[in-house]
Structures are given as C-alpha cells and as structure tokens.
Structure 1
Amino acid sequence: MPEPKPAPPATPGPGTAAGAPSAPSAPSASGTRHPHGALVVLLLSSTLGIMSSTILMPVLELIRTDLEISATRAGTLLTVNGLTVAVVSPLTGWLVDRVGVRGPMFAGLLLYGLAGGAGLVTDDYTLLLAGRVVFGIGAATAFSATTVALLNGYRGADRDRVMGWRTAATGLGGVLWPILGGALGAISWQAPFAVYLVGIPVGAAALFLFGSSGPARSGPVGERPAEVTTLRAAVAAQPALLGVFALSGVYMVLTYGLLVFLPQRLAELGVHDPAAVSVHVAAVTGTSALVGVAYARLRRVLGVNALLRTAAVLWTAAFLLLGLADARAALVAAAVLVGAGGGVWLTSLTVLVGALTPAPVMGRASSVSSTMVFVGQFLSPLALGPLMAATSISVGHLVLAGGAGALALVLSFVRFPTAQNSPGQEEPAGGTSPYRR
C-alpha cells in the first residue's frame, strides 16, 4: 500500500521521520500546533475503554457473593455502562462533529474518572448501578472524541498503523488493567474502582495538548465537492457502512460470550482466585495487542476482507475448544484465539469506517459503530445467560461456535469496498488534516 502524500503546505514538526505517522495535532486559534504527546494521550485514552469492564471482571464473583445478588445482576454491573454508551453515542458523535474533539474529550474523561471512582465509597447495588450509567456517559463522550481524532488525523497506510497501535494499546490495557484489578481485589472488591480515577489526569492532559479545533472538513472551501453533512447521506453513498455497523455488534456478542462467563467456567474447574481469573482475561487482550502491532503489515498482505474471514474462523475454533474441552490449558488457548480474532476484527471495522465515511460526519458514523459494539456487549449475557442456565456453559459456547462458523461462511461471499479513494480515506487535493503535522 503506497504511503499517502503529505498535504501541502504543512511544515514537518521537529523530530518527525519521513514516512512515519505523526502525532495528531490541530491548529489552534493562533495557528500553533500541538506536540506529539497528543498521540500518547489518544492511545492512553483508548485503553480506558477496555478498562471500563475488564478491571472489575476478576472481582465479579466477590461482588456477587458480598452483595448477595444473582450472576445476572452482577454481570449487569459490567454491561450497563455499555448500554449507556450505546444510547448516548449518537449524541456524542454529533457533538464531536459540531465542536471538535478537545472539549468533549476533556469532559468525557473527567466524568469517566469521577463516576468510575464512585464505587470506592458505596456498596449499595442501586448506587453502583447508577454510577455505572453516569460513567457510561463519560466513556461514550471520550470514546467518540478519541476515535474521530485518530480517523480524521491520519490517512492511508498511516491510518492502518495508528489504528493498529490503538488496538495494541487497548490490548495492552486489557492485560494490565485486569491484572491490577485482580491484585487490588485481594484488598477488597471496591479497591479496583480506584483505577478509574486515572481518567482525570488524562482528561487534563487532553485539555492542554489539543487546541480549539472546530469540526473537521474535507478540504478548503472552493476546492472540495459539496460536503456530505448527514449520516443518512453517507450511508446512501456507501451502503456497506450498514454491514460494518452490524458486524461491530457481532464482535461484542462473541467476545463477551467468553469474558462474562469465563469466571463461572473457571469456577467449575476449581479456579476461584481473582488473580488467576485475570490471567485468562489478559490472554484475550494481550493477544489482541500483538495483533494490533502487526495489523498494518497483515492488511498489506491479506487485505481487510480476508482478515475478517480469518477472525471468524479463529472464533469458531475458540468456541469449539471452550465447548468440548475441560482442561485449563484449553481455556487459555481459546482465550488467545478469541483475542487474535478480536484484534483483527475491531481494527478492520474501524479502518473501514474511516475509509467509507466523509470527515464531516466521522463522529456520527463512528458513534453508530460504538453503539452497535456496546449493544452487543449488553445483550450478550442477557441472551446467553438463560441458555447456559438451562443447559450448560459448554453448550452455550458450542452455539457460539456454530454462529461464528456461519459468519465465516457469509464473509466468504461478501466483499467490503476498501479502495484508497473511498471517502475519508485519502485527503483530496489541497485538503489538510486537522490533526496531522
């Protein structure tokens, strides 16, 4: 894949290597540009999304026991924030398209830290649930701003690399946060809530590093075609976006089919220690991180469509292992396969959103994708819980294996457009990116 041509007349920042993706930076009102630390903030913010649930997974059984609640109610503490994200994401995406990324990112991260940390001071289930709803609003706002900053800030091969790095950062967070949650869980089940407070300093850094940029545009007025200004028009121009949105929901249904029920599956095998549970969760996210580092190269070799099919095949094998094997080693192997498939899948779908969506509606398109991800997260335990309760966790995983296999078959006949001149993938002549140096 050829490197995208830089947009004239931008001047390279100090220390920027030729051909290397540069940190997102936006012109401020004074015309100055932000330092490369903005990319660090974006990648760190990306890890907070997976932290929202995984840091509590190692103590989920302790919460259920201490509060004397059902497994479904305990699982809802992990997923209600996802439902909130699903509901409010369209609004946060619209907001980012209207005002830019700086303000929403700061406000979202601040709310994330304050509402997430509230679990430190209450052991009332209703208050915990309400705090998770407010927490979800903050997460949705920060997630929309971060995604738009990355997608509108990079093009072509640069975008592939940066989105791969984002997956790697998310996966690394998925390794470190649950391990930290398991370690803090040895103190009390409330202690892991303290980690959410990290959103406050990250939000402050975003406020400092990002300038007052307005909504993204595809190029200077007079040098661009009439802009697409509604999501409906974007979908009409690229109906494949509907398929991307649908596959975003499938991702979480399958992934949470493992994650939510993994503690119970391990308990059946005699494993109850939160730290031991966290290692299995980390196997999913750690593998996803490794895939993210290699994503740009994988896409060059295989292409997006082949990568999506490969992910579905990996999930099929993973759930067959979960359904048929009883050894802990098999559960670790299944977690690795789920992580590899997830790293390829979610990165590819995010890249497709960027390739198929014009910059002025990127926030709304990415927010719909986020909505579908978190709808899948919320529905996964609600749909699979009764099935597994009526049969067994193994039977539920075999059902998921059948679903993933059917998905692989469908994807063998489906091709998503990935041309480099798709709207939003390359900058038009004379266009400038509001976040690149």
Structure 2
Amino acid sequence: MKIPRLSHHRGSMIDASLPMGHHLRVGFGRGSSKIPWDSPTLRVVFASTLLAPLGIALISPGLSVIQAEFSLTDAETSLILSSYFVTGIVLSPFIGALEDRVGRRAVLIPSLLLFSLTGAAIAYAPSYEVALALRIVQGTGAAGIFISTVTLIGDVFDGVQRTAVLGANTAVLSTGAAIFPIVGGLLAATSWNAPFLVYLLGIPVALLAYVALDEPSVEHHPRSLGSFREVFVALSLRESLLLYGSAFMIEILLFGAVFTAIPFQLSAEFDVRPVQIGLTVTAALIASAVAASQAGTLAKYISDEAIIISGFACAGAGLLFAWQAGSPALVGVASAVFGAGWGLVLPSIDDEVSEFVPVEFRAEALSLRNSTTFLGRTLAPILFTALAPFWGYRLLLLVAGVVGFASGLLGWILSRWNSNGD
C-alpha cells in the first residue's frame, strides 16, 4: 500500500497521492509572491541569468553571415548553435553532483569565467573547426551557470515566493534574449565575429559573484553519482516523465522552430535581413518575459502541472499561426504567442523539481533537467535543418505546432495518472 505523500507547496498542503492537477489545497491562494529585489544573492543570480541568452539569441540572427564567412551548408551552420549544448548534455549531472558536494558559489564563479573567455576567443577563431571546439567548451560554462542559478533560487526561497522568483528569473532570461538578437543582428551586419566579443561581459559578473554571493546554508556531503537514485525516489515515474519530458520538448520546439526554422524561412521566403530576423525572435522573447513574470500570481490559483499544459497549448497555437503567416509581421505575432507558452512552462518545471526533491540533492535533480533541456536544444537545429530539404521550413512549422498540442495532451494524461499506478 502506497502511503500518500504530503508536501507543503505554495503555502498549502498537497496530498500527493491525488493525480497531479487535482491536488487538495488547504489555504488556497495563500502565500506571498513578493520578490526581494534587494537580495545580493538574487542580484547575482539575475546578472548571471542575463548572460545565458548570449549563447544562442545573440548568434542566431547572424547565422547567414557566419555561413557565408566559412562557406557552410545549412546543417553545418546549425552546429554553431547545437555544439554549444553538447557538453551540457553529458556533464550537467556531474556538475550538479559537484555542486551538491562543494557548493553553489564554487561552481558558479569558474563557470562564468569559462563561459566568458572561451566565447570571446571564438571571435579570433582561424577556422570553422576551431570555432566549434570553443563553442563546445563554452557550453560547459553555460551548463554550470544554468544549474547554479536555478539551484540557488531553490535553496534561498520557498513556496509562492520561489515560484515568483523562478518566474522573474525566466523573465530576465527572456528579456536578455529579446535584446540580444537585435544587438547580434546589428553587430553581425558589421562583421561575423563582432557578436562574440560581447561574451566578455561575463567577467564583471564573475567579480560581482565573488564579492556579493554568500554560500547558502545547505549541508554538502561527499558522494558519487549513485546519489541520483535519491532524485528518482523523490520524483515518481509520472512526475519524472511530465517534468523532464516537458523540459525536453519545449526546447525542441523553441530551438528548432523559433531559433532555426523561422530565421531561415524569413531569409529565404521574405528576403529578411538579420536585424529584422532579430526583431521577430525578440517578439517571442518579450512575450515570454511577460508570461513568466506572472508565474507567481498564477501559482496561487492553479497547479504547476496546469500551467505547463496551458503553456504547451500556447506554443502549439503560435507555431500553427506561423505556418499560416503570410508576412514577416504575422510571423512575429505567431512567435509572440509561442513565447508566452514557453514563458509559462519553464519556471513551473523548475518549481516542481525544487519542491519534491530534498535540498541536499536539488542541484542533481536540476542538473538532470538541464541535461534534458540541453539535449533538446542540441537536437532541434540538427533535426529541423535535416528535414528542411524534404519538407521545407513552413511545413516543419505545421508539424511542430501539432507536436506542441500533442505534448500538452500527453501532459494532461500524465496529470490524470493516479500515483497509485506508478
């Protein structure tokens, strides 16, 4: 007989033996969603998170310029994006285990420096192969930043406030990603390598973390990767499928459709320049920032699972609209609808993982989320550019929209799955 698990979540009691999305809430709607903007930890987290979009959003508008510089095919050009995530897929669990052993601060600061220095070095890469190698190393630093920032939020904040802070963190991520395509497009118009010099901004952020960031009072224990079994003990099969599966699929759609298919489609079908492509991508990311900033408010009234399902519905609708769009402006509107969905999904996933996994294993649990996220980001550009010669980018947007709705439906089925059947 399975004993119902009770968890304090968003200031209320949840009977986890009930299907997800049907949690019994006591004190429904209670809890403060106020964000402590004066927190030094939060300032470091937000500054670090703001760097994350530099990895892709800064480079995406200039893909055609990089392609021309090195005489690349579409598939080869897409590796500039996907190679950035290769090491994160494999090394994220090790980074998470290291972080739970030595602390968040000891991982974040070196990750910021590695991200910054290797990224800037790409500007001086003598060949395409060297640029790819540097992108792979840079991705290791990016993985450390992603894991450390979200884990710090889970350590320091709780309940509705944690949901609100995670939403604000995603909003910061999206705001940076909304600005950087414009910056990247402008810089790429001057030279292919100019955008990569922006990565030097990571150095002052690392100095800020060194001066201002205190290590959270979390007990660290020496242990091996075998401790990951504790993560899967804490998360049921249903929760693991819903949370990690959602993280994988929403990134497949974002990086395959919005960051790869739409830029190539706008360039080929509408002869749109890099700056205009950047504006279209920006529409998605502004909408994402707005949606994510409301995560704390939504979490007072509906479950994380319901927010995730709603986010996929928005994502699917946006991609279907992009399939039918007959002008760059309408593609921008469609991208904004998708972006709102993405902004709802990501903080809700991280909130659920942070809630159900004990604090001493939190970095490992979130590192697994990071691995699935990076896997989606790596496969998406390769998958979409490989299928494009046969289907075309417009048909790919139709398929992606259908997949978005199907993912939401699967999430709803998982949310109805009684935990007694796990």
Same fold per superposition (TM over 0.5):
yes
Alignment check: 8 A CA contact 2:261 2:384 kept: no
CA shift for structure 1 position 20:
3.9
Matched with 2:245 is 246
SS of the counterpart of 1:261? helix
CA shift for structure 1 position 386:
2.2
Alignment check: 8 A CA contact 1:167 1:347 kept: yes
Q: How has the CA–CA distance of structure 1 residues 358 and 56 changed in structure 2, closer, same or farther, with 3 Å as cutoff?
A: same
CA shift for structure 1 position 301:
2.9
| Aligned mates of 2:144, 2:220 — CA distance in 1 | 20
- What is the alpha-carbon root mean square deviation over aligned residues? 2.2
Matched with 1:264 is 264
- CA deviations 1:35-56 (Å, max 9, x no partner) are 8232111012112222211100
Matched with 1:137 is 140
Q: How has the CA–CA distance of structure 1 residues 301 and 212 changed in structure 2, closer, same or farther, with 3 Å as cutoff?
A: closer
Q: What residue ranges of structure 2 are gaps of 5+ in the alignment?
A: 1-8, 13-31, 418-422
- CA deviations 1:375-414 (Å, max 9, x no partner) are 0011112222222211211111111122112122222222
Q: Which amino acid aligns with 1:272?
A: V
CA shift for structure 1 position 241:
2.8
Alignment check: 8 A CA contact 1:248 1:369 kept: yes
Q: How has the CA–CA distance of structure 1 residues 19 and 138 changed in structure 2, closer, same or farther, with 3 Å as cutoff?
A: closer
Alignment check: 8 A CA contact 2:105 2:214 kept: yes
Report which of the two has the higher share of helix.
Answer: 2
Q: How has the CA–CA distance of structure 1 residues 127 and 214 changed in structure 2, closer, same or farther, with 3 Å as cutoff?
A: farther
CA shift for structure 1 position 156:
0.1
Matched with 1:110 is 113
Alignment check: 8 A CA contact 2:116 2:202 kept: yes
**TM-score, normalising length: structure 1:** 0.83
Aligned counterpart in structure 1 of residue 162 of structure 2, from 159, 164, 179: 159
Q: Which amino acid aligns with 2:351?
A: V
Q: What residue ranges of structure 1 are gaps of 5+ in the alignment?
A: 5-17, 24-34, 219-228, 418-437
SS of the counterpart of 2:248? helix
| Aligned mates of 1:205, 1:250 — CA distance in 2 | 34
CA shift for structure 1 position 216:
4.0
| Aligned mates of 1:415, 1:152 — CA distance in 2 | 26
Q: How many residues align?
A: 384
Alignment check: 8 A CA contact 1:98 1:215 kept: no
CA shift for structure 1 position 302:
2.9
Which runs of structure 2 are paired with 1:412-423 in the superposition (5 Å)? 412-415=412-415
Alignment check: 8 A CA contact 1:98 1:214 kept: no
Alignment check: 8 A CA contact 1:99 1:213 kept: no
Aligned counterpart in structure 1 of residue 149 of structure 2, from 123, 146, 149: 146
Q: How has the CA–CA distance of structure 1 residues 143 and 125 changed in structure 2, closer, same or farther, with 3 Å as cutoff?
A: same
CA shift for structure 1 position 3:
5.2
Matched with 1:335 is 335
171-180 vs 296-305, greater mean Cα deviation:
296-305
367-376 vs 49-58, greater mean Cα deviation:
49-58
SS of the counterpart of 1:413? helix
CA shift for structure 1 position 358:
0.7
Matched with 2:56 is 53
Aligned counterpart in structure 1 of residue 229 of structure 2, from 228, 232, 238: 232
Q: How has the CA–CA distance of structure 1 residues 19 and 65 changed in structure 2, closer, same or farther, with 3 Å as cutoff?
A: closer
CA shift for structure 1 position 214:
6.7
Which runs of structure 2 are paired with 1:118-129 in the superposition (5 Å)? 118-129=121-132
Matched with 1:39 is 42
CA shift for structure 1 position 237:
3.3
Aligned counterpart in structure 2 of residue 173 of structure 1, from 170, 173, 176: 176
| Aligned mates of 2:209, 2:145 — CA distance in 1 | 10
Matched with 1:347 is 347
CA shift for structure 1 position 90:
0.7
- CA deviations 1:242-294 (Å, max 9, x no partner) are 43112111111111122112221101333332111110111111111111211
Matched with 1:368 is 368
Matched, 1:92 2:77: no
Alignment check: 8 A CA contact 1:320 1:397 kept: yes
